[in-house]
Chain A
Amino acid sequence: MPVTTLNGQEIHVNEEGFLTDPSEWDETLATALGAQIGITLTEAHWNAIRFLRKDFQEIGETPTLRRVSTVGGIPIKELFVLFPQKPAKKMAYVAGLPKPVGCV
């Protein structure tokens, strides 16, 4: 697994750049990850990211877009505004989690 340096911090990532060790993640790193993909984190972004972290901890799987909306209570429309084009993947990236594997 490659190691990359972000914000002066060494992190383990997969070949695409997603963190492979969720424990290396903290909120400062999230801000840096967001900046890498052109997203400045607002409270609304944090709301989604915190849900992802919490759900991953409880379920052991990155939630799909549908789950973020039905369980996390954030409308899908809003997620597309916050994380344009590819919300599920972008959220997972900023939250330091693997890409979601679910189909829906």
Chain B
Amino acid sequence: MTVNTEPAIVPNFDSEVGTGRKIAIICSKGNLDMAYPGLILANAALGEGAEVHMFFTFWGFDMINKKTMGDLKFTMLGNTATHMPQGLGGIPGMTAMATSKMKKTIADLDVPEVPAFLEQIVASGGHLWACRLSADMNSLTKEDLYDEVEDIISATDFIEKTEGAQLLFI
């Protein structure tokens, strides 16, 4: 009788390549369709054990502004990727219609809305930072922002915090 002395095949969850991986995501857009790439990638990176820092700047502020975060919009205007006549996008009510259609598609796939998505990212250990200049430009304070935003910081602070990180600008 032979004895199997081969080591068992076990997934390498803590491969050296993955340890200490850090990802910085800069969100600069406030459209519904442009909010998701950053959220999805942040969430995926956290699920892979990476340290994730998100920096919300310029229009990206709409993603963390309590007044707008639940009400981001999608428009066909200026977006040729919808493959619809551009004139249609200008018809009153079209943006609202396109937005609600996109929201429904997203919800059907069990992908959360922006506020719930941020909540999930924070629960997974992600860090949220707001851009100082964007806050000043819009006269917003921490009170106006999503509660889990850790702080309003300068661009320099963010670059400092994310030293050695892989960076993604959206």
Partner of A80, one of B13, B14, B125: B125
Q: Please give me the 4 A-B residue pairs with the lowest Cβ-Cβ distance, nearest first.
A: A85-B49, A76-B123, A17-B9, A4-B9
Contacts of B111 in A (CB 8 A): 103-104
Classify chain B's interface size.
20 to 34
Q: Give the contacts of B94-119 with A (CB-CB under 8 A).
A: 109-112, 117
At the interface, yes or no: B80 with Cβ under 8 Å from chain A?
no
Give A100's nearest chain B residue, CB to CB: B47
Contacts of A73 in B (CB 8 A): none
- A36 adjacent to B8 (CB under 8 Å): yes
Instruction: Check if A85 sits within 8 Å of B123, measured CB to CB.
Output: no
- B residues lining the A interface (CB < 8 Å): 4, 6, 8-14, 40, 43-44, 47-49, 109-112, 117, 120, 123-125
Cβ contacts A to B, 13 pairs, < 8 Å: A15-B9, A16-B11, A18-B11, A36-B8, A37-B10, A37-B13, A66-B120, A80-B124, A84-B49, A90-B13, A93-B11, A103-B111, A104-B109
Contact size range, A: 20 to 34
Asked, given contacts A4-B8, A5-B4, A37-B10, whether A86 binds B123 with beta carbons under 8 Å apart, the answer is no
A9 to chain B, nearest CB (A): 10
The binding surface of chain B is classed by DSSP as loop
Q: Is A95 an interface residue (CB 8 A)?
A: no
Q: How far is the CA of A88 from the CA of B47 in the complex (A)?
A: 7
* Residues of chain A from 75 to 104 with CB closer than 8 A to chain B in the complex: 75-77, 80, 84-90, 93, 102-104
The answer to whether B120 and A86 touch across the interface, beta carbons within 8 angstroms, is no
A88 to B150, CA, bound (A): 26
Tell me which residues across on chain B come within 8 A of A75, comparing CB atoms: 123
Please tell me if A13 contacts chain B, counting CB pairs below 8 Å. Answer: yes
B49: A residues at CB distance < 8 A: 84-86
Q: Which residues from B are CB-within-8-Å of A13? A: 9
Chain A residue with the shortest CB-CB distance to B43:
A104
Contacting pair B44 A103 (CB below 8 A) = yes
Given A75-B123, A104-B111, are A85 and B13 neighbors across the interface (CB < 8 Å)? yes
> In the assembled complex, which residues on chain B have CB atoms less than 8 Å from the CB atom of A36?
8, 10
Q: A66-B110, A87-B47 are in contact. Are A4 and B6 (CB under 8 A)?
A: yes
- Knowing A67-B110, A77-B123 are in contact, say whether A37-B9 is a contact too (CB < 8 A): no
CA–CA, A5 to B10, complex, Å? 11
